[in-house]
Structure 1
Amino acid sequence: MIAVGRIGAYNNYATQYAELLRQGIRLVHTPQEHVRASQLPGWYTLIKDLTPRSKWYTEIPTVAQIQSEFDWPVFIKGVRQKSRHQRKLSIIESAADYQQMQERYQIDSILGWQSLVVQEYLPLRLVEDTQTDRIPSSYEFRTFWWYGVCWHGVLLVGRSEI
Structure 2
Amino acid sequence: MSMLVLSEASDRIPPSASSRDIKAVTEIAKLLGCRVYYIPQDFTICETAENALFHIPKQERETLGVWIGYIPTPERYTAIYNEALRKNIRLLNTPEEHLTVQEFDRAYPKILNLTPESMTITDLAQCQEVVSKLGLPLFVKGTVQSRKARGWKACVANTLAELEILSQQLLNLENRSRGRIIARKLVKLRHVRSTPEGFPLGREYRVFVYQQKVIGCGYYWEGEDPLKKLSTSEESKVIELALNAAKRLEVPYSAIDIGQLEDEKWIVIETGDPQFSGVSQIPLLQLWNEIIKIDKNDCGI
Range of TM-score over shorter length: 0.7 to 0.9
Distance 1:130 1:51, change over 3 A: same
Distance across 2 between alignment mates of 1:93 and 1:18 = 44
Unpaired runs of at least 5, structure 2: 5-65, 224-280, 283-301
Please report how far the alpha carbon of residue 23 of structure 1 lies from its aligned counterpart in structure 2 after TM superposition: 4.5
Alignment of 1:67-86 (within 5 A): 67-83=131-147, 85-86=149-150
Distance 1:83 1:33, change over 3 A: same
Q: 1:27 aligns with which of 72, 91, 96?
A: 91
Structure-1-length-normalised TM-score? 0.81
Q: Which residue of 2 aligns with 1:159?
A: 222
Please report how far the alpha carbon of residue 24 of structure 1 lies from its aligned counterpart in structure 2 after TM superposition: 4.2
Alignment of 1:78-117 (within 5 A): 78-83=142-147, 85-86=149-150, 87-117=152-182
Distance across 1 between alignment mates of 2:217 and 2:177 = 31
Q: Which residue of 2 aligns with 1:44?
A: 108
Percent of residue pairs bearing the same amino acid type:
23
Counterpart residue type for residue 155 of structure 2: S
Asked if the contact 2:124/2:167 (under 8 Å) is kept, the reply is yes
The question of 1:11 aligning with 2:11 is answered: no
Counterpart residue type for residue 108 of structure 2: Y
Between 1:30-39 and 1:76-85, the stretch displaced more is 76-85
Please report how far the alpha carbon of residue 130 of structure 1 lies from its aligned counterpart in structure 2 after TM superposition: 4.5
Distance across 2 between alignment mates of 1:46 and 1:40 = 10
Distance 1:20 1:126, change over 3 A: same
Distance across 2 between alignment mates of 1:108 and 1:79 = 11
Q: Which has the higher helix share?
A: 2
**CA RMSD, Structure 1 to Structure 2 (Å):** 2.4
Between 1:30-39 and 1:91-100, the stretch displaced more is 91-100
Alignment of 1:105-144 (within 5 A): 105-132=170-197, 135-144=199-208
Structure-2-length-normalised TM-score? 0.47
Q: Which residue of 1 aligns with 2:3?
A: 2
Asked if the contact 1:89/1:104 (under 8 Å) is kept, the reply is no
Counterpart residue type for residue 159 of structure 1: E
Asked if the contact 2:124/2:164 (under 8 Å) is kept, the reply is no
Distance across 2 between alignment mates of 1:80 and 1:114 = 10
